[in-house]
Amino acid sequence: MDAEITFSINELASDFNVTTRTLRFYEAKALISPKKEGQRRIYSQSDRERLSFILRGKRLGFSLAEIAEMLDLYESDNKKKFQSKVIIDNIKEHIEILKYKRKDIDKTLQEMLSLVKEYE
């Protein structure tokens, strides 16, 4: 009955332009935990979203350790409600970091834009 859309490690890897080695590596770092069909890894849509988040985090310059932290912070707010303040504080910190990154990007963007403008 359940037409769960799943992916093999190969499909997921090619879909996101990463290697299967990378996916196993992230799993070893506990960033993704696909189901196992015997030995074979079975990736679900949620695993897909997690990978998307991980790769985006990488592009934003976060380390795998930081991404791992964000990941379990974002999913733990249901279970560990007694620690909500700590979680909120951590997320706020991430928000601040992102704001600085955005400022840097905007600054650099403006400089490059005006630079190109001089030569065209």
Task: Please enumerate in sequence order all residues whose Cβ is within 8 A of that of 40, keeping only pairs 6 or more positions apart, or say none.
Answer: 8, 9
Shortest Å distance, C-beta 107 to DNA:
27
Interface with DNA, residue 22, by CB under 7 A: yes
**Total residues interacting with DNA, rule: CB under 7 A:** 16
Q: Of 10, 64, 71, which is closest to residue 46 (Cα–Cα)? A: 71
24 is a site residue for DNA (CB under 7 A): yes
Contact residue for DNA among 15, 19, 30, 84 (CB under 7 A): 19
Pick the closer one to DNA by CB: 22 or 83. 22
User: What are the b/e assignments for 56-72, b being 16+ CB within 10 Å?
Assistant: ebeeeebeeeebbebbe
* Residue 6 near DNA by CB under 7 A: no
Q: Which of 60, 64, 73, 87 binds DNA (CB under 7 A)?
A: 64
Contact 101, 66 (CB under 8 A): no
Beta-bridged to residue 37, according to DSSP, are 40
Contacting residues toward DNA, per CB under 7 A = 8-11, 18-22, 24-25, 39-41, 58, 64
